Amino acid sequence: MSSQWRSSKRRATGALLAASAAVLAVACSVDEGARTAEGALTEQAEQEAKKPPQVNMTQAINDLAKTPYQGWNTYFGLSSQFNEQTIKEAADAIVRRGLKDVGYEYIWIDGGWWNGDRDTAGNIVINPTQWPNGMKAVADYIHSLGLKAGIYTDVGINGCGGKNQGSYGHYQQDFDQFAAWGYDAVKVDFCGGKLMDLDPPVAFGQVRDAILNNSSHRPMLFNICNPFVPETGATPGRAAYDSWKFGPTTGNSWRTDTDIGFPRDVKFSELLRNFDHNAAHPEAAGPGHWNDPDYLCPEIGMNAAESQAQFSMWAVVAAPLIIGSDIRNISDASVEMLKNREVIAIDQDPMGVQGTAISTVGDAQVYTKPLSNGDYAVALFNRGPKAQVISTTARQVGLPNARGYALRDVWKHAYTESAGKISANVPGHSAVLFRVSKASGAENPPSVVMSPLAITTPSQAVLPLVVPGSTFTVSTSFTNNGRHTVSDAKLTVSVPTGWKASPVGSTSARRLRTGDTLNGKWNITVPAGTVPGPNDVKTAAAYAWDADDCDDETVTITDTSVVQVPPTPPANTTALSHHPWLDGTSAYLVPRVDREVAGGGPLVMLGTRYPEGIGTNGPSVIDFYVGGACSKLTGVVGIDDSVKFDPQGGTSIFQVFGDGTKLYDSGLITRTTPKPMSVDLGSAKVLSLVVTDGGDHSYNDRANWANLQITCAGPQPTVPAGPWPHYVSLADASATATSANDGNPAGDAIDGNVNTIWHSRWSPAQDPLPISFTLDLKSPRTISGLTYLPRVDGTINGTITSYQVEVSTDGSTFAAAAPAGTWAQDALLKSVQIAPISGRYIRLTAKAGAYGFASASEIGVATIP
């Protein structure tokens, strides 16, 4: 769908549903690693567990999609920017990258293929520049690869892309034309239908009849796409939430919510929203007719763990598996994730049951799906940002009593054996997916769980904050859930180079029987001068187990937790928006520095332009570390004038928190009531700027924190006198790069202005990676670290995700200053800690970057004076 229409469909993402009303929550345990008993089910939960799986017996409209269909669609990865060559390249990629071999067969052309032209007879006329050989030739090419072709239209006169791009008044004519061209599937949208106030069951029923009666007698899969929800003006009974009522007898699938995101912008919060609403009516799904929560979107805003969680949960709920990313360019790792045959087998199970939640406790959910061979798929889903142990039992799942149970982790491709508990340490925004059965005669390692680190620090944002020169405490536990006793269990902690970890008490145990737990605790010291950024703290549990009639086998499991060294607190009076934040979220796109969130224009409220600030869209949270050194925050809060394109929405409440305590509340702010603020910060270490909804959902809530000025103490002492790193002045330094686009020179990454960027060349041609950026400090220095601030203008192009840092004394011969590494694809400050080394030149090489580019807002160098 076009961004114009998609904007009209945007709605609240902050209030996520905990579960559908149709989903029964039963007791599960969310461990912190302590020993827990299996627990007794309530009588009601036991009765629910004994119920046979619901299998929908609705007669499908055709013989297609007996299992959820698989394929690829243009929308999220390409928007409307594609042509004949693009589609052929995508089809080739599906085959070349092995996706066809695991069932992805539909190549689906979404909105943007047609501009609404018709000839005098009413037939669709296409753009010969976009499709030089015609639409039939495209379908023929797709078929030549053993794939199927899909196409798109709207139920109304207009379409989501613009005027006259729908099929109203031409249903039979258009579907006859699609069939004659050779298309095997049709997606039909509802943008024009909403404008005309059509009744979805009636309109989509007429479309169904036209498809089934096409003059070529061609079987065509029918995807119903009504993405409108009440917040976007859908009238009662006509929202996406109501499609389940008519969908099973009208189409092969139907959208259950609004779009899961924007082109090249899908967030985990939107995944949760769509997943929850999709859960409302599992009874409607079955062979030939499926609930559709929208597309799989790796590398379109979500990280690898979030994308894997989406794939896992889509499989459990028997959703169609349509890839929305640009399949030509996503990483091999994402492709391999999408090709996981064990996950696909759960989605494609021929019984066709949509999995349901048997437990929801806070952010922890347990979903189960009965499979045709008697196994159960069990998903332990962590909706929250923090790792946690999530547990259920075989009895709660519905499995029969047995001596033991085999847990097949379909992502690790490995078995463990449990005495009855199904449990795992699940990272934030992740899912662990098991295929569970009664244990066979084969001996498998015992099912064990090591809890995530409990980290005790004075301050926390999304991550625990550890200040250079400080000591903090961590603890973990290790529990044996297997039938076999484990022996010689030992817990260890690994910390970054230069950090120190000291155990507190014993961290080993000679024997752990079923249900026994070993606890471990350590004090960790962060060296003074540590550069800001995330740091891994790794835990390991080594143990042996005695298989029946076998020698002891030794196993080691590991886990990684992350702590964050914050940037040096701001000093004096400065623009807070130009200080690196700890983290930042926005319901729409991402927060932008000195720009409004949607189009990236200047911050303007009631005609007044503000040169500095942050543009975001509620719900939003932006955290800064101020270290107790700042006394006052001033600024102007309000709604940006860019909301005027639509009278709907545009209300927010602005709040400031210090260490979790509310320091300021603006009250209701509308588009006509910008408001100055002045906030006393007291001793706050973490400052949180929060935007909440004003009562009419988050649509069009383009919120501005304008002219943010923070008043702080003077500069912190430099290393070695103080804990914070010392940054060399780059005023006299020079920068060069192996690639730079006109207008984005290397020097823009060291000019102290976060709104200017260095960017590798994209015009007239793109330079390939790797691309290097070199700083000449003009004299030898003892270099201890490098910081990298990605662009903060709301665009990810060029964000470096794989790097190498090298140092040289002469600018000719370079040596690695630290091991090569990776960074997350976000706008947060990154760093590389370097064991002190003398050098005049420091080189950052981008080995991988968003969309094949390299860019930087600011690069800094830490030194020991």
| Residues recognised as catalytic | 189, 259
Q: Are 1 and 227 in contact (CB under 8 A)?
A: yes
Q: 735: left (phi > 0), else alpha (psi -120 to 50), else beta?
A: beta
AA identity, residue 531 = V
Q: Is the dihedral of CA 849, 855, 857, 862 positive or negative?
A: positive
AA identity, residue 542 = A
650 three-class SS: coil
Residues whose CB is less than 8 angstroms from the CB of residue 466 and which lie 6 or more positions away in sequence, other chains included:
457, 472, 524, 526, 535, 563, 564, 565
Task: From residue 443, give the alpha-carbon distance in Å to each of 175, 433, 440, 449.
Answer: 57, 21, 8, 18
Q: How far apart are CA 114 and CA 329, in angstroms?
A: 25
Q: How far apart are CA 600 and CA 794, in angstroms?
A: 8
Q: Are 303 and 825 in contact (CB under 8 A)?
A: yes
Q: 580: left (phi > 0), else alpha (psi -120 to 50), else beta?
A: beta
**Other beta carbons less than 10 A from residue 332's beta carbon:** 8
Strands in 694-816 per DSSP E: 702-712, 726-727, 734-737, 758-759, 771-789, 800-808, 815-816
What are the backbone dihedrals phi and psi of residue 96, each rounded to the nearest 5 degrees, phi first? -60, -35
What CA dihedral angle connects 458, 463, 469 and 474, to 10 degrees? 70
Q: How far apart are CA 449 and CA 389, in angstroms?
A: 8
Q: Are 14 and 693 in contact (CB under 8 A)?
A: yes
Q: Are strands 376-382 and 430-438 parallel, antiparallel or unpaired?
A: antiparallel
Residue entry with tokens 């769980």: 449
Q: Are 335 and 100 in contact (CB under 8 A)?
A: no
DSSP class per residue in 120-167: TT--B---TTT-TTHHHHHHHHHHHTT-EEEEEEESSSSBTTBTT-S-
3-state secondary structure 427-466: CCCEEEEEEEEECCCCCCCECEEECCCEEECCEECCCEEC
The residue among 351, 350, 369 whose CA lies nearest residue 55 is 351
* CA angle, residues 297, 303, 307, in degrees to nearest 5: 40
DSSP class per residue in 277-346: HHTT-GGG-BTTBEEE---B-TTSSS-HHHHHHHHHHHHHTT--EEE-S-TTTS-HHHHHHHT-HHHHHH
Q: How far apart are CA 44 and CA 49, in angstroms?
A: 9
- Please count the CA atoms within 13 angstroms of the CA of 704 that sit on its side-chain side: 34
